[in-house]
Amino acid sequence: MPAELSPIDKAKFAAARRAVDFVEDGMKVGLGTGSTAAWMVRCLGEMVREEGLSIVGVPTSTRTAELARQVGIKVVTLEEAKWLDLTIDGADEFDPELNLIKGGGGALLQEKIVATASDQMIVITDAAKEVAQLGAFPLPVEVVPFGWQTTRGLIEEMLSSMDVMGRQTALRLNGTQPFLTDEGNYIVDCHLKRIGNPRQLSLVLNQIPGVVENGLFIDICDKVIIGGADGTVELRDINDGSVSHDRIDFAEESNIFSDLD
């Protein structure tokens, strides 16, 4: 393993490596977006190249699609796949009920569509993403560009009646210009600090004209895998309430890191 790999990257890799154990030959797999999901895509690519694993992947962003093709994974659209066996993705926050905030990378719409079109969703993460209550991470809300200022005003007005601690919102920027999602939409980040009722907030947000989707993933995640910098992994299953522990041997994973030398 390269000496420059940070402890957080080691933790992300450990979670990703454990998650791909759930991928079986012939599966249709949703491929998440973000730094942790990128490790998972690399791991799957190695399994395809070295072990002959036969899968198709449905990426949740253009950058994930590019990486998947680079490592040898066959990429198809959700329309072609129709339904998926499994989606593996990261998260910006998760709570004890495995509700999530996602969208820090700007791909929340495709991520939510793909995850809900899957038999199960596995979230791979590190311990820093675990919170007692969602909201410390800004909640992304994808909005159409037309009238986005009005939509933002409606969001702020609605927040005044919600059980949240903060109500500041900000248009996400890419340099000096609005950040554009793969669908050509904008993102309004809501700095709420604490979300008392995520389910209610998600439902109300999506009723606002101009809102396409929000980054609250409620009752979607089935398992979370938490990686540690020392290779330890904890697997929590919300469906049966089980918790198990394992360890990834980094010394046996040198092929994964060959492109980082």
- What residues act catalytically? 111
Ligand-binding annotation for 90, yes or no, is: yes
Ligand-binding annotation for 223, yes or no, is: no
Ligand-binding annotation for 105, yes or no, is: yes
Ligand-binding annotation for 125, yes or no, is: no
Ligand-binding annotation for 92, yes or no, is: yes
Ligand-binding annotation for 104, yes or no, is: yes
Q: What is the CA radius of gyration of the chain?
A: 18
Q: Residue 59, Cβ neighbours under 10 Å: how many? A: 27
Ligand-binding annotation for 219, yes or no, is: no
Ligand-binding annotation for 116, yes or no, is: no
Q: Could you tell me which residues are annotated as the binding site?
A: 33-36, 89-92, 102-105, 129
Q: Could you tell me which residues are annotated as the binding site for substrate?
A: 33-36, 89-92, 102-105, 129
